[in-house]
């Protein structure tokens, strides 16, 4: 791999790491993520890498072209039509506009549930809202009711979701 230097401090960048949501990044080698303070110690430069869109074995329900799986800079996942694109000059979608956001993702936390002591998870909804919930909780589809522990803590949004800004149509080099 090509040796890349941190534009902030000139130290080499460290190996590629992958987040639980599938985003890839390289930190400055002098920066270390502190899991207690949830801040970076040392240089905080992070380079986000392009996540290769993955071609799926599914066809677009609108036009029949293959669908691709793409991850946005906020870690949200979506399926979109490979025949779709984004016209930067006209700022509008071109080709097929089929997009399907993929519902929530969960990430494990090193925190214990205050109710039952089982580990907590962070659940991110398709709209980008986050909550901490107990890993023992579930949803009984047949009975249409929650199962397991019912501890939930909604987190404040870290960003304002922008609606229809065309992000979903941008090529990855613009997203990252």
For Zn ion, give the closer residue by CB, 20 or 114. Answer: 114
Check residue 109 for interaction with Zn ion (CB under 5 A). no
For Zn ion, give the closer residue by CB, 75 or 85. Answer: 85
- Can you tell me the distance from the alpha carbon of 95 to that of 84, in angstroms, rounded to the nearest whole number? 5
Q: Are 145 and 18 in contact (CB under 8 A)?
A: no
CA dihedral (127, 113, 146, 154) in degrees, to 10, reads -30
Check residue 108 for interaction with Zn ion (CB under 5 A). no
Check residue 43 for interaction with Zn ion (CB under 5 A). yes
Taking alpha carbons only, the member of 111, 149, 102, 107 closest to residue 130 is 107
Q: Which of 91, 115, 138, 171 binds Zn ion (CB under 5 A)?
A: 115
- Can you tell me the distance from the alpha carbon of 60 to that of 97, in angstroms, rounded to the nearest whole number? 10
Check residue 91 for interaction with Zn ion (CB under 5 A). no
Taking alpha carbons only, the member of 109, 115, 111, 105 closest to residue 149 is 115
| Least separation in angstroms between CB 100 and Zn ion | 11
Residue numbers at the binding site for Zn ion (CB under 5 A):
6, 8-9, 11, 28, 43, 45, 60, 62-63, 65, 81, 83, 96, 98, 113, 115-116, 118, 134, 149, 151
């Amino acid at each position: 791999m090509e040796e890349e230097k941190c534009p902030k401090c000139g130290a080499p960048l460290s190996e590629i790491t992958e987040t639980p949501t599938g985003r890839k990044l390289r930190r400055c080698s002098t920066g270390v993520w502190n899991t207690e303070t949830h801040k970076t110690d040392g240089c905080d430069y992070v380079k986000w890498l392009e996540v290769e869109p993955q071609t799926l074995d599914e066809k677009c329900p609108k036009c029949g072209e293959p669908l691709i799986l793409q991850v946005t800079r906020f870690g949200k996942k979506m399926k979109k039509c490979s025949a779709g694109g984004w016209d930067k000059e006209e700022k509008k979608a071109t080709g097929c506009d089929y997009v399907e956001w993929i519902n929530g993702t969960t990430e494990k936390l090193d925190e214990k549930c205050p109710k039952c002591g089982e580990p907590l998870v962070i659940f991110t909804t398709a709209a980008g809202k986050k909550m901490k919930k107990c890993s023992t909780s579930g949803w009984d589809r047949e009975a249409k009711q929650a199962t397991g522990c019912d501890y939930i803590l909604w987190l404040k949004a870290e960003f304002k979701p922008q609606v229809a800004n065309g992000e979903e149509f941008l090529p990855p080099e613009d997203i990252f």
